[in-house]
């Protein structure tokens, strides 16, 4: 920079400006003219440099388009994941998997290693027979070694214990069932034996009574067309009646023999389909009530009876003048009735013998 000297009045002392090196009168406190010219020059030069910079920047894309070569940029190195070691231990020989991938076999009490990234991993061990299995989640939090202990022995022991308990329970239940079945069988056999013995006793009593009846002049009369036989003191008379019922009428066969002032009777009533689906006990109860109403009598005693596999009902009743002893048996759609009617003042001693002499026989045409 050249030193400038301003016009100074004669005899006036001058000073030198440290910024622009211009000499100025001492009467001035600062350099005004030189510094102003310097600032203007600097501003002009800065504008020229800014214009040149803009022109250069505008020419860069054109230059890059003229260059057919690749644009080289700095390569960014990828970050490598942190790697750790997973040490897997197993107490039984097993095949193991890591995150769903088969990793081979581990000897009983042995181990295997695998490189893994940090984070959670799923480890599965299965015994060689494929029966027992253990699954674990392992969290690898830092580099180095993480140990995973796969314990198959407790799993196998628990399974074997459960199987043994199940076998023991099944054996106990089988033993209890066998004992119960044996007990029930013995009880059933005892009931059958008792029933057979009871039937035999009753048959023997009937034979004895029949013998007594024969000794008293009774005879056995059989009627295959109605399917029964009984002992009567004399040949019974037989007549047929149509009895009205709620569902129509039924044909009734009446067999009657008299012994002095006592009437011994057997009635056979065929109801066909009128009794279909009805409970035998209900039917017998209804017939009994109808008989009590017709005879104007009241019940003295009653109980359920059977003849073979068929249900029955017996009762004793009295009216103002008569004593009635009645047995009913419902055999399919056929109602059998044995009846002894005697004077109230003169009970018939052989009534039970007459009832017991009644037997079912093969029915002709059935």
CATH number at residue 135: 2.60.40.1120
- Return the number of other C-beta atoms located less than 10 Å from residue 72's C-beta: 6
β-partners of residue 10 are none
Domain with 45, as residue range(s), is 4-57
- Looking at the structure, tell me whether residues 232 and 284 fall in a common domain: yes
pLDDT grade, residue 63 (50/70/90)?
A: very low
Does residue 15 contact residue 5 with C-beta atoms inside 8 Å? no
At 342, which CATH number?
3.40.1000.10
Whether 211 and 250 map to the same domain: the answer is: no
Mean pLDDT throughout 3-17? 60
Instruction: Report yes or no on 23 lying in a domain.
Output: yes
Per-position b or e across 25-61, b if 16+ CB within 10 A of its CB: eeeeeebeebeeebeeeeeeeeeeeeeeeeeeeeeee
pLDDT at 45: 65
Say yes or no: 224 and 276 in one domain: yes
Q: What is the mean pLDDT of residues 150-166?
A: 96
DSSP 154: H
Q: Do residues 279 and 304 both lie within one domain?
A: yes
Q: Does pLDDT of 96 surpass 90?
A: yes
Q: Are residues 21 and 11 in the same domain?
A: yes
Judge whether residue 104 has pLDDT over 60.
yes
Q: Which residue has the tokens 């009880």?
A: 187
The encoded tokens of residue 208 equal 């004895």
Output the pLDDT for position 21: 61
Where a domain ends, among 105, 127, 151?
151
Do 236 and 313 lie in one domain? The reply is: yes
Confidence class for position 274, pLDDT limits 50, 70, 90:
confident
Gap between the Cα atoms of 40 and 66, Å rounded: 40
Whether 76 is in a domain gets the answer no
User: Does residue 73 lie in a domain region?
Assistant: no
Note the pLDDT tens digit of each residue in 320-356: 999 999 999 999 989 999 999 999 989 899 899 999 9
For residue 5, what pLDDT is reported?
52
Residue 265, pLDDT score = 97
Say yes or no: 229 and 299 in one domain: yes
- The whole-number average pLDDT for the span 268-288 is 89
In a domain, 366, yes or no: no
247: helix, coil or strand?
A: coil
Domain boundary among 14, 42, 57: 57
In a domain, 338, yes or no: yes
Rounded to the nearest 5 percent, the helix, strand and coil shares of the chain are 35, 40, 30
DSSP string, 78-133: PPPPPEEEEEEEESS-EEEEETTEEEEEE-TT-EEEEEEESEEEEEEEEETTSS-E
- The confidence band for 6, taking pLDDT boundaries of 50, 70 and 90, is low
| For residues 130-152, average pLDDT | 95
Q: Which run of H or E residues covers position 324?
A: strand 322-331
Indicate if 89 and 188 belong to the same structural domain.
Answer: no
Examine the domain organization and report whether 222 and 211 are in the same domain. no
Q: Which of 129, 151, 173 is the last residue of a domain?
A: 151
In a domain, 143, yes or no: yes
Residues facing 64 on adjacent strands: none
In the chain, how many domains are there?
4
Q: What pLDDT was estimated at residue 58?
A: 56
Q: Taking Cα atoms as reference points, which of 154, 145, 146 lies closest to residue 125?
A: 154
How does strand 248-259 pair with strand 262-270?
Answer: antiparallel
Lowest mean pLDDT among 31-35, 163-167, 288-292: 31-35
β-pair type (310-318, 322-331) = antiparallel
% pLDDT > 70, the chain: 77
Query: Do residues 293 and 348 both lie within one domain?
Result: yes
pLDDT tens string 211-240: 778 778 899 999 999 999 999 999 999 999
d(CA 327, CA 303): 10
d(CA 328, CA 280): 11
The answer to the question of residue 348 being in a domain is yes
Enclosing H/E stretch for 13: none
Nearest in space to 166 (alpha carbons), one of 178, 154, 174? 174
d(CA 86, CA 98): 10
- CB-based burial label for 140 (10 Å; 0-12, 13-18, 19+): buried
Does 225 map to a domain?
A: yes
What separation in angstroms does the CA of 319 have from each of 295, 310, 340? Answer: 7, 29, 14
Secondary structure letter of residue 268 according to DSSP: E
354 and 231 belong to one structural domain: yes
Does 321 share its domain with 241?
A: yes
Residue of higher predicted confidence among 27 and 221: 221
- Listed in sequence order, the residues at least 6 apart from 263 whose beta carbon sits closer than 8 Å to its beta carbon are 256, 257, 339, 340, 341, 342
């Amino acid at each position: 920079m050249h030193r400038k000297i301003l016009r100074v009045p004669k005899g006036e002392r001058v000073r030198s400006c440290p910024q622009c090196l211009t000499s100025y009168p001492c009467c001035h406190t600062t350099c005004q003219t030189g510094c102003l010219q310097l600032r203007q020059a600097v501003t002009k030069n800065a504008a020229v440099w800014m214009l040149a910079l803009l022109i250069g920047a505008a020419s860069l894309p054109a230059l890059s388009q003229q260059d057919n070569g690749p644009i080289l940029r700095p390569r960014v190195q990828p970050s490598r994941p942190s790697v750790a070691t997973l040490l897997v231990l197993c107490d039984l020989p097993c095949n193991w998997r890591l995150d769903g991938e088969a990793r081979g076999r581990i000897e009983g009490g042995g181990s295997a290693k695998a490189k893994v990234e940090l984070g959670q991993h799923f480890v599965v061990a299965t015994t060689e027979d494929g029966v027992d299995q253990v699954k674990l989640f392992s969290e690898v939090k830092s580099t180095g070694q993480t140990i995973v202990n796969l314990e198959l022995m407790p799993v196998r022991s628990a399974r074997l214990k459960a199987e043994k308990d199940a076998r023991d329970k099944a054996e106990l239940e089988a033993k209890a069932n066998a004992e119960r079945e044996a007990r029930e069988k013995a009880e059933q056999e005892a009931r059958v034996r008792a029933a057979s013995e009871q039937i035999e006793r009753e048959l023997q009593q009937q034979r004895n009574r029949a013998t007594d009846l024969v000794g008293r002049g009774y005879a056995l009369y059989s009627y295959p067309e109605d399917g029964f036989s009984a002992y009567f003191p004399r040949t019974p008379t037989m007549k047929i009646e149509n009895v009205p019922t709620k569902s129509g009428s039924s044909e009734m066969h009446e067999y009657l023999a008299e012994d002095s002032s006592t009437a011994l009777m057997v009635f056979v009533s065929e109801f066909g389909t009128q009794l279909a689906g009805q409970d035998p006990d209900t039917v017998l109860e209804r017939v009994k009530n109808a008989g009590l109403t017709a005879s104007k009598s009241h019940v003295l005693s009653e109980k359920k009876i059977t003849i073979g596999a068929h249900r029955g009902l017996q009762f004793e009743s009295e009216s103002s003048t008569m004593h009635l002893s009645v047995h009913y048996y419902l055999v399919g759609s056929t109602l059998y009735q044995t009846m002894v009617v005697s004077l109230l003042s003169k009970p018939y001693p052989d009534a039970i013998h007459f009832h017991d002499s009644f037997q079912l026989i093969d029915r002709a045409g059935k």
